[in-house]
A and B are shown apart, each in its own frame.
Chain A
Amino acid sequence: MSMDKKIEKALRRVQKPGRYAGGEWNAVRKDWVSTDLKMAFAFPDVYEVGMSHLGLQILYGLVNRRDDALMERVFAPWPDMEEQLRKMGLPLFSLESRRPLRDFDIVGFTLQYELSFTNILNMLDLGEIPLRSADRLAEEYPLVVAGGPCAFNPEPIAAFIDAFVIGEGEEAINDLLDTYHQWRMQGENKKQLLLRLAEIDGIYVPSLYEVQYNEKGEVKSITAKAGGVPAVVKKRAVDNLNAVFYPTRQIVPAIEAVHDRAMLEVQRGCTRGCRFCQAGVIYRPVREKDPETLLQQARETLACTGWGEISLTSLSTSDYSQVRPLIEELTKRHSADRINVSLPSLRVDAFSVDLAKEVQKVRRSSLTFAPEAGTQRLRDVINKGVTENDLMEAVTSAFRGGWQAIKLYFMIGLPTETGEDLEGIAKLARRVLERGREIVKSKGRLKVTVSVSSFVPKSHTVFQWEPQDSMEELRRKQEFLRRELRGRGLFFNWHDPEGSFLEAVLSRGDRRLCDAIEAAWRKGCRFDGWSEFFNLDRWLAAFDEVGIDPEKYAYRRYDYNDTLPWDHIGAGVNKKFLARDHRRAMAGEKTPDCRGGKCPGCGLCPSLEIKPRLAGGETIAPVQDVLQ
């Protein structure tokens, strides 16, 4: 039976065949034989999630506009599709040309969350590619690369990935493809390719580094094994987002995606400096796009896709200095075409609610705010620049504006948290509910939902040295909140602490975890980020099998002097700054946002030779050598 016939047979037997069918508007299918460089964009989660990801649209557009290269997509097959693929002996195939993953020159995974790691192994396996880099030295196998937030601690999957791209991909991907092309023209072997790649700024080739451990079994040093290989791989960051490629011919998913709308990235980076937040570090510095650029990109994207909604995306869109004029102008230009503007994340203040009022003519959904902690003391510790007053003003404005449902996001298990902080969460929620009762007419519809996630220490953050709370402790805290948050109009959601525990293990892990991840995958772990599939017992059995104690990773408190498993990856922010800011955190001192004009001295701008860029043309003069 031909591969096409088999695929058709498989597609007739799965629940959502549209996930694998391709053919969407703006999908690009180039001639396979005559195109030199073939790269697959591999998203280790299901289609609906992957198609909501802006990074995919950016890289897809960038590669496909090159004459000598093509990029096709492949997503993690849902378990029903995996079953069909394995039963029929079909390899995992790309959506565009239906080619097996092994037929590509380069396979690029995006690492959005740690709990997708087993899906990477599953996709390699289904794509008929050996799992380990060391087993792929023959030139017939594709080069396997990865990038995205989790590449900032790449060690737990170092054995499976040939090269990581650290930081932003717009420029690095062309360097990667050009180098690959030159290497092939020279007819060299795979090791020579890896050496060539290691010389590119921002590319980390794990096999060229040696890790040594001390007598306690902790990482002692990570050193480059060859000349020309940098001791620290510094992240890539684009200097001017106005001048860089932006995808306006975004692929329009054929089946409904999680975020099914046009995406307009208004800025990159957030400098608020929340001390738990990894994105705030790895996407620094803040770079705003000019309103003229954005209006032009919005017009093109809407015309090329037909979407009726455009989302202004970024880590904190209400911080964009031109947000109000931008929204006004977008509304003016596109309201005749019934375009809705949406804002993904709201800062906790009345200004942000005003923006939401402007874009949301019908108050359908709830408004979400993230105070993150229940008391001012703890909010200062985490440097969340939000006061109770800000929150009350925001919700007052929201209730007056016609919203009847408010969602509040908090984190439990944050460093220094006490019982008072937990009580604070419940008190805040009740205050919000009371305010709602004073304003909202139809009391029956009034709804305050508290959503609680567990703190996970992440690499490169101020809290990278901190341990996670034990699962028992987190459960106890959740139980406390569940009891406190009973009553009419109050709702409580929480995440399983089991998943957060594994996330903590993986996010601060070293390369010895590779064996555990492979063992977990062999035991059937897939889609660990999906509660219906996640199974901690299977993971614990895997850790046990390879002789690793996961608690040592999740619950470890590091010293400032300890070598961290990701010390050779440079996010740009000085480690001394992080240590100093950690001490400030413990003392309950806040650190200002550099947007205000005062540089706190994180060291990023001098280190990367880059500057913050605001749409009005302002910049912030960085403090030089503040930590010397």
Chain B
Amino acid sequence: MPRYRMFYSKKGPARFNSHLDMVRTLERSMRRAGLPIAYSEGFNPHPRFSFAAPLPVGVEGLAEPFDVEMLEPVENNVIEEKLNAVLPDGIRVHGVATVPDNEPSLMSVLDRAKYIVHIDEEDLPFELPDSAVEDFLSLEHVEVLRKDKLRDIRPGILKIQKVQGDSGLTLNLELKAGSVINIRPEDALDALFKNAGIETDKEDFQITRTALST
């Protein structure tokens, strides 16, 4: 069966939907678009979708990949046009490609993610000094509490970089993602601020995942 890889963005109100909500939304959208999606066999058939690392509730995504199988070939640009005509607010498809049969699954190849995180000026009691990022990245271990367990997330932090912006603070992050190691950007930033002695609230981080890569 022909397989297609698309990249979608999830912004605005749609970013508050969970991954499962998103799967349902994509299925219904494809039905509205009249696309011949393929379903699994068995008692409880579900569409043959495959995703990479799920996007957490509240996080924007700019280029989230997913694969879908269809019963018959459809031209890539037709898929994109039909889908974009019926996707709800905040969700758009940007680019559709045909995937060869032997291509490995998204989950097995994508293991890093890039993020942009913005924090409003009023949510930052102090400005983050330029040296704070360097200090943080020079740490050998960064211990974070997750589900009552201490975990060293330092090996999963690949890059943190301050970006010049208008107001507030904007940072670029590159972190390990996927089924082996998955680092939450809010955990990495929370640790960065703690190390710098700045008190912030994780809930104020406005997070956008810009890309998933190998």
Hey, which bits of chain A sit against chain B, CB under 8 A? 1, 5, 8-9, 11-13, 17-18, 21-25, 27, 252, 254-256, 260, 303-308, 337-338, 362, 364
Cα distance A9–B206 in the bound complex, in angstroms: 10
B75 interface hit (Cβ, 8 Å): no
Number of A-B pairs, beta carbon distance below 8 Å: 79
Whether A306 contacts B13 by the Cβ 8 Å rule is no
Query: With A13-B203, A23-B88, A306-B86 given, is the CB distance from A18 to B16 under 8 Å?
Result: yes
B73 interface hit (Cβ, 8 Å): no
Query: Which residue of chain B lies nearest to A25 when distances are taken between CB atoms in the complex?
Result: B88
Query: Which residue of chain B lies nearest to A12 when distances are taken between CB atoms in the complex?
Result: B203
Which chain B residues in 8-31 approach chain A with CB under 8 Å?
A: 12-14, 16-18, 20-21, 24-25, 27-31
List the A side residues contacting B28 at CB < 8 Å: 25, 252, 305-308
Given A9-B203, A337-B31, A364-B44, 16 additional A-B pairs, CB 8 A: A1-B122, A8-B206, A9-B204, A18-B21, A21-B13, A21-B16, A21-B17, A22-B89, A24-B89, A25-B88, A254-B21, A255-B17, A255-B21, A306-B32, A338-B39, A364-B43
Whether B21 contacts A17 by the Cβ 8 Å rule is no
Listed residue (B14, B32, B86) with the most chain A CB atoms within 10 angstroms of its CB: B32
Whether B58 contacts A23 by the Cβ 8 Å rule is no
Whether A18 contacts B203 by the Cβ 8 Å rule is no
Chain B facing A: main interface SS: helix
Query: With A12-B204, A256-B24 given, is the CB distance from A17 to B31 under 8 Å?
Result: no
Hey, which bits of chain B sit against chain A, CB under 8 A? 12-14, 16-18, 20-21, 24-25, 27-32, 39, 43-45, 57-58, 86, 88-90, 120, 122, 203-204, 206
List the A side residues contacting B30 at CB < 8 Å: 306
Cα distance A256–B18 in the bound complex, in angstroms: 10
Listed residue (A12, A22, A307, A364) with the most chain B CB atoms within 10 angstroms of its CB: A12
Q: Which 8 A-B pairs have the closest CB atoms?
A: A23-B13, A306-B28, A23-B89, A21-B13, A306-B31, A17-B16, A306-B32, A21-B16
The contact of B29 among A8, A27, A306, by CB within 8 Å, is A306
List the A side residues contacting B29 at CB < 8 Å: 25, 306
Query: With A12-B203, A255-B21 given, is the CB distance from A23 to B31 under 8 Å?
Result: no
30 A-B pairs in the complex with CB atoms less than 8 angstroms apart: A5-B120, A11-B16, A12-B58, A12-B203, A12-B204, A17-B16, A17-B57, A17-B58, A18-B21, A18-B57, A21-B13, A21-B16, A21-B17, A23-B90, A25-B88, A254-B14, A254-B17, A254-B21, A254-B25, A256-B24, A304-B32, A306-B28, A306-B29, A306-B31, A306-B86, A308-B27, A308-B28, A338-B45, A362-B43, A364-B43
List the B side residues contacting A9 at CB < 8 Å: 203-204
A311 nearest CB across to chain B (Å): 16
List the A side residues contacting B58 at CB < 8 Å: 11-12, 17
Cα distance A12–B15 in the bound complex, in angstroms: 11
Query: With A12-B58, A12-B204, A306-B27 given, is the CB distance from A362 to B21 under 8 Å?
Result: no
List the A side residues contacting B45 at CB < 8 Å: 338
A150 nearest CB across to chain B (Å): 31
Whether B32 contacts A303 by the Cβ 8 Å rule is yes
Cα distance A131–B57 in the bound complex, in angstroms: 35
Query: With A306-B27, A308-B31 given, is the CB distance from A256 to B122 under 8 Å?
Result: no
B168 nearest CB across to chain A (Å): 12
Whether A22 contacts B13 by the Cβ 8 Å rule is yes
B153 nearest CB across to chain A (Å): 22
Listed residue (A5, A338, A364) with the most chain B CB atoms within 10 angstroms of its CB: A338
The contact of B17 among A13, A18, A305, A338, by CB within 8 Å, is A18
B60 nearest CB across to chain A (Å): 12
List the A side residues contacting B20 at CB < 8 Å: 256
List the B side residues contacting A27 at CB < 8 Å: 89
Query: Which residue of chain B lies nearest to A339 when distances are taken between CB atoms in the complex?
Result: B31
Query: Which residue of chain A lies nearest to B57 when distances are taken between CB atoms in the complex?
Result: A17
Whether B21 contacts A23 by the Cβ 8 Å rule is no
Cα distance A214–B58 in the bound complex, in angstroms: 59
Query: With A11-B58, A256-B24 given, is the CB distance from A18 to B32 under 8 Å?
Result: no
A599 nearest CB across to chain B (Å): 45
Query: With A17-B58, A23-B12, A306-B86 given, is the CB distance from A255 to B18 under 8 Å?
Result: yes
A57 nearest CB across to chain B (Å): 16
List the B side residues contacting A255 at CB < 8 Å: 17-18, 21
A39 nearest CB across to chain B (Å): 21
List the B side residues contacting A18 at CB < 8 Å: 16-18, 21, 57
List the A side residues contacting B89 at CB < 8 Å: 22-24, 27
Cα distance A12–B201 in the bound complex, in angstroms: 11
Cα distance A23–B10 in the bound complex, in angstroms: 12
List the A side residues contacting B24 at CB < 8 Å: 256, 260
List the B side residues contacting A12 at CB < 8 Å: 58, 203-204
Query: Which residue of chain A lies nearest to B30 when distances are taken between CB atoms in the complex?
Result: A306
Whether A24 contacts B88 by the Cβ 8 Å rule is yes
Query: Which residue of chain B lies nearest to A26 when distances are taken between CB atoms in the complex?
Result: B88
B214 nearest CB across to chain A (Å): 31
Query: Which residue of chain A lies nearest to B28 when distances are taken between CB atoms in the complex?
Result: A306
Cα distance A273–B43 in the bound complex, in angstroms: 39
Query: Which residue of chain B lies nearest to A22 when distances are taken between CB atoms in the complex?
Result: B13
The contact of B86 among A24, A25, A260, A364, by CB within 8 Å, is A25
B186 nearest CB across to chain A (Å): 10
List the A side residues contacting B90 at CB < 8 Å: 23
Query: Which residue of chain B lies nearest to A302 when distances are taken between CB atoms in the complex?
Result: B31
Query: Which residue of chain A lies nearest to B13 when distances are taken between CB atoms in the complex?
Result: A23
Cα distance A260–B23 in the bound complex, in angstroms: 14
B19 nearest CB across to chain A (Å): 12
Query: Which residue of chain A lies nearest to B90 when distances are taken between CB atoms in the complex?
Result: A23
A2 nearest CB across to chain B (Å): 11
Cα distance A23–B203 in the bound complex, in angstroms: 22
Query: Which residue of chain A lies nearest to B45 when distances are taken between CB atoms in the complex?
Result: A338
Whether A254 contacts B88 by the Cβ 8 Å rule is yes
